[in-house]
Structure 1
Amino acid sequence: MIGRALSLSISFAATVSALAGCSSAPPLFSSDGRPTTLIQCPAYGGWTLCQQNARATCQGASYDVLEQSTDNGQNGLLIACKTQ
């Protein structure tokens, strides 16, 4: 039983590693080292909801928009919070 669980854990870890290499996820940090966050909201509502979510994510602080996109009915903002 333990051998099977270990085998499944190793198999899962290998699968996650393989998929991570194919991911199109945004970078984890901006070029100046700040953590980034991808904010998504429905495109039909414009950018207001994304901007509100970005402000909430940065706890009211301002933020830089590193990338802005619209795809498959979703608006996306890749942001980095400014330091307070």
Structure 2
Amino acid sequence: MEEINTYMNTFLWILIVFAALIGGLVGGAFIARKQMEKYLEENPPLNEDVIRTMMSQMGQKPSEAKVQQVVRQMNRQQKAAKAKKK
């Protein structure tokens, strides 16, 4: 009888550790995703300087109006994608 109790305690311990591992992985992935979304919202990967550089490399003369138009268009697309996701 004591042997069965020992096996049950071991099985229960393994089950708890496994459940904690799965919970930690799921929770960690969720938190990391939220942190990354917040970071990208605060620090967008493409800013005005990057757009000017890209336009120059493509052979276009980057006027301020064109740069601002591209920035506004990108912001609109980001907002639309965010609204669509919700």
TM-score scaled by length of structure 2: 0.33
Bigger fraction of residues in helix: 2
Bigger fraction of residues in strand: 1
Q: Which has the larger radius of gyration?
A: 2
TM-score scaled by length of structure 1: 0.33
